[in-house]
Amino acid sequence: MKETRLGEFEEVILLLVGILGEEAYAFKIAEEFQAQSGRASSIGSVHSTLDRLKEKGFLTSEMGQPTAERGGRRKRIYSITAEGKTALTSSRDFRLSLWNQYPGLSVDQLSFLS
Amino acid sequence: MKETRLGEFEEVILLLVGILGEEAYAFKIAEEFQAQSGRASSIGSVHSTLDRLKEKGFLTSEMGQPTAERGGRRKRIYSITAEGKTALTSSRDFRLSLWNQYPGLSVDQLSFLS
DNA sequence: TATTAGTTCTACAATTTAGTATGATACTGC
DNA sequence: GCAGTATCATACTAAATTGTAGAACTAATA
Cβ atoms B24, B77 nearer than 8 A: yes
- Portion 57-86 of B in contact with A at CB < 8 A: 85
Give the CA-to-C1' distance from B27 to C27 in angstroms: 16
pLDDT score at B26: 94
Asked whether residue B6, judged by its CB, lies under 7 Å from any atom of the DNA or RNA strand C, the reply is yes
Cβ atoms A12, B102 nearer than 8 A: no
Backbone angles phi, psi at A11, to 5 degrees: -65, -40
pLDDT band at A114 (very low <50, low <70, confident <90, very high): very low
pLDDT score at B114: 45
Cβ atoms A73, A22 nearer than 8 A: no
Asked whether residue A60, judged by its CB, lies under 7 Å from any atom of the DNA or RNA strand C, the reply is no
pLDDT band at A16 (very low <50, low <70, confident <90, very high): very high
pLDDT score at B72: 67
Which tens digit of pLDDT belongs to each residue from B41-93?
889 999 999 999 999 999 999 998 777 776 667 899 999 999 999 999 999 99
Lowest-confidence pick of A37-41, A95-99, B51-55, B82-86: A37-41
Report d(CA A38, CA B80) in Å as an integer. Answer: 25
Any B CB within 8 A of A95 CB = yes
Closest nucleotide relative to residue A73's CA, C1' based: D26
Mean pLDDT of A89-96: 95
Task: Give the closest-approach CA distance of A14 to chain B in angstroms.
Answer: 11
One-letter identity of residue B51: D
Cβ atoms B88, B15 nearer than 8 A: yes
This prediction has a pTM of: 0.89
Rounding to the nearest 10 degrees, give the CA dihedral for residues B97, B98, B103, B108. -20
Which nucleotides of chain C have an atom under 7 angstroms from any protein CB? 4-12, 15-22, 25-29
A101–B92 C-beta distance less than 8 A:
no
Which tens digit of pLDDT belongs to each residue from B1-40?
345 789 999 999 999 999 999 999 999 999 999 999 998 8
Cβ atoms A33, A46 nearer than 8 A: yes
Identify which of A64, A101, A18, A38 has the alpha carbon closest to the alpha carbon of residue B114: A101
